[in-house]
Amino acid sequence: MGEGEELIMDTTAYTAFCEFTAEWPCLTFDVIPDSLGDNRTAFPMSAQLVCGTQRNDDLDMEEEDQEEDATICHSTFKHAGGINRMRVCRHARDVVAVWGDKGAVTVYNLAQQLQQVEQNSSGTSDGQQIFQHQFSTEGYAMDWSPVAARRLATGDCSSQLAIWDPTEHGWEVRVSSGGHTDSVEDVQWSPNEPNVLASCSVDKTIRIWDIRAQLRPVLSVNAHDADVNVLSWNRREQHLLVSGGDEGAFKVWDLRTFMSGSPEAVATFKWHSQPITSVEWHPIDASVIAVSGDDHQVSLWDMAVEDDGDANQLVKSDQSTVPPQLLFVHQGQKDIKEVHWHMQVPGMCISTAASGFNIFKTISV
């Protein structure tokens, strides 16, 4: 935009939109499954989120209802230190794992906070810690297995991957003895294999692990020309991965080609002009991806749209050509950090940024 110009929102492009801010910016969040049913399309729409800050050492449970006006209830409790990333357990909606900037991963029970917000009340409470493991340094990578109950994977800034196996009294934590050569930025469990996961790193690689053997990767791919920041494993088409890098590109990978020894991305897009901060496949539509970047944009893509040109087309970041796969560009936030789909409300996107949260449904998805 030129000097003095500002964005004007086209409200006709949205079927729902809500924005709100917390006391301090939340750099990470996750969507909590609720008991209101799946495939919801009627208003009012509701979302339960767990959010974490770096400045105020808080975890915040929030529930937001979208009608003409939004109603927000929240329950806040303290966490020791800033929060890098958090993820809700796939098999227990009241369990959340938190990567802290003091080098510890802490697992909390959210039952008390969930009860409070579901009673449409707000306030502060004590956090119920279930388990904690101290690492030598902080980290960001974290994912719960969708197949093996309560199995967690984490990665830290010292290049180590850790597997958390549930026990009677908590978790047994196994740490890798090799693999990445720099900070592990993200991990993703296979959607159908309990012992397989993917990781990405500042060392520019994506690695595939089978944890039944020694905790070492079985495959490694030189994936990007810069740090690989984020990964998402397609839950519907299990052979597809998407990754996002510091160079502003995101790539779609077919895991069936990894065994060839020289895999190439099946699609590469450089629409964003700054590092990619988040990628996530749509939970129902296997061809749709949400992408966020440091250029203050969330872009929505449909990989099923055919292109007359090269299938592995690289779209330049000057945005002079709009690729046919690009469905929608959402703007208006500053320094977007994460974007997630709501698994129970088809097409609902939630993004967090330094400027606050946006919850939206577009006419394109």
Q: Supply the CATH number for residue 83's domain.
A: 2.40.10.480
Tell me: the pLDDT tens digits for 63-100? 655 445 778 898 999 998 999 999 999 999 999 999 99
Per-residue model confidence (pLDDT) at position 247: 97
Residue 253: inside a domain:
no
Residue 266: inside a domain:
no
Per-residue model confidence (pLDDT) at position 66: 46
pTM listed for this prediction: 0.93
Please check whether residue 152 is in contact with residue 142, taking contact to mean a CB–CB distance below 8 angstroms: yes
Q: What are the structure tokens assigned to 213, written together?
A: 């053997």
Residue 184: inside a domain:
no
Q: Which helix (H) or strand (E) is 98 found in, with range?
A: strand 95-100
Q: Residue 295: is its pLDDT beyond 70?
A: yes
Residue 125: inside a domain:
yes
Q: How far apart, in whole angstroms, are the C-alpha atoms of residue 350 and residue 340? A: 5
The overall average pLDDT reported for the chain is 91
Q: Is 268 exposed, middle or buried (0-12, 13-18, 19+ CB in 10 A)?
A: middle
Percent of the chain with pLDDT over 70: 91
Structural domain of 94: 11-134
346 preceded by a cis bond (ω within 30 of 0): no
Q: Structural domain tally of the chain?
A: 1
Residue 54: inside a domain:
yes
Per-residue model confidence (pLDDT) at position 125: 83
Q: How far apart, in whole angstroms, are the C-alpha atoms of residue 137 and residue 156? A: 7
Residue 22: inside a domain:
yes
Q: What are the structure tokens assigned to 6, written together?
A: 């500002």
Average pLDDT over residues 60-64: 66
Q: What are the structure tokens assigned to 84, written together?
A: 């890098």
Average pLDDT over residues 177-181: 91
Per-residue model confidence (pLDDT) at position 5: 65
Per-residue model confidence (pLDDT) at position 353: 97
Tell me: the pLDDT tens digits for 157-172? 999 999 999 999 999 9
Per-residue model confidence (pLDDT) at position 67: 45
Q: How far apart, in whole angstroms, are the C-alpha atoms of residue 322 and residue 305? A: 13
Q: Which helix (H) or strand (E) is 111 found in, with range?
A: helix 111-118
Q: How far apart, in whole angstroms, are the C-alpha atoms of residue 108 and residue 239? A: 32
Per-residue model confidence (pLDDT) at position 317: 43
- pLDDT class of 262 with cuts at 50, 70, 90: confident
Q: How far apart, in whole angstroms, are the C-alpha atoms of residue 284 and residue 286? A: 6
Residue 72: inside a domain:
yes
Residue 87: inside a domain:
yes
Q: Residue 319: is its pLDDT beyond 80?
A: no
